[in-house]
Amino acid sequence: MMVFYVDEAGCLGTLPAATSPIQPVFTLAGVVMKRERLNDFTLDWLHLKERFFPNLRAAHADFLDWIMVEIKGAELRKYIRQAPRDPRRHALGFMDKFLTLLERHEVRLLGRVYVKPIGTAFNGRAVYTSAVQSLATDFQRYLETVNREGLMVLDSRNKPKNTNVSHSVFTQKFRAAGDAYSRLTEMPVFGHSDNHAGIQAADLICSAFLFPMAAYAYCQGRVTNIHVHLQYYRIRDRFGERLKALQFRYQDANQWWRGGITVSDGIGHQRGSVLFGP
């Protein structure tokens, strides 16, 4: 069994102008890991949080309570964007060890990054649904490659939104033409991040890595607001190649490369490879 944990970063609203205080990037991405690795990964993740942020847990709390201490990507971005040298190095050091954890447990990445066009409508609901279906397609291909079955676990939003997303996969599994996701054992299920190490890992991939990397690579010089910052080059330059290596990519019937972290650039229409470095 493989488990695919998915989270998001950014909002689904339209970017009306280059100076609007709207997040110019939306990311939906996650981590795929073997079920038999999940226990060890979770314990390693708790130890990593304890090592780098020892003061975030109450002194009397049990070690397992570290799962409820969330290290938010938005806070790490803030350290890198604004903090003095030592806190910035601390944040980058934590991110470095986090990627080492993913590498050690043979985690694979799949995701979609959308750079919003300026002054053009952005249909957030359609984008989200389409992205989930696309990720399910890539996950299906990965499961075929490793000859396993799998389950998607998404960070919960609210019941109507969850239902809409799950139904979009349901219609593809039970379509007349045949099951498009035959190796998915169920429709996507939804969890809360404070009890899923996998969802917390997906959150960091989205918000601490992909969002600032995309904002720097595709929006610098084009969008002027708090969400785009020159200091984000540190994330792309330091971690881009390692993230690139963690992707699962494959060639379709027409020999086009699919999967991995794909980018839809609505501003400059640059290639997806720009995300990982110059």
Give the pLDDT confidence of 184-196 residue by residue, as tens digits: 999 999 999 888 9
Left, alpha or beta for 150 (phi > 0: left; psi -120 to 50: alpha)? beta
Query: Can you read off the two tokens belonging to residue 121?
Result: 């409508």
| Average pLDDT score over residue span 52-78 | 90
Domain count of the fold of the chain: 1
| Max Cα–Cα distance, the chain, nearest Å | 59
Q: Which of 201, 155, 272 is nearest to 41 (CA)?
A: 201
| Average pLDDT score over residue span 196-221 | 97
CB proximity list for 146: less than 8 A, separation 6 or greater: 2
Q: Which of 91, 95, 93 is nearest to 83 (CA)?
A: 91
**pLDDT band, very low/low/confident/very high, at 111 (cuts 50, 70, 90):** very high
**pLDDT band, very low/low/confident/very high, at 82 (cuts 50, 70, 90):** confident
| Average pLDDT score over residue span 35-50 | 97
Spatial contact of 183 and 150, defined as CB atoms under 8 Å apart? yes
- Where in the sequence is the domain holding 121, given as residue range(s)? 2-276
| CA–CA dist 254, 132 (Å, integer) | 23
**pLDDT band, very low/low/confident/very high, at 90 (cuts 50, 70, 90):** very high
CATH number at residue 52: 3.30.420.10
Q: What is the pLDDT of residue 67?
A: 94
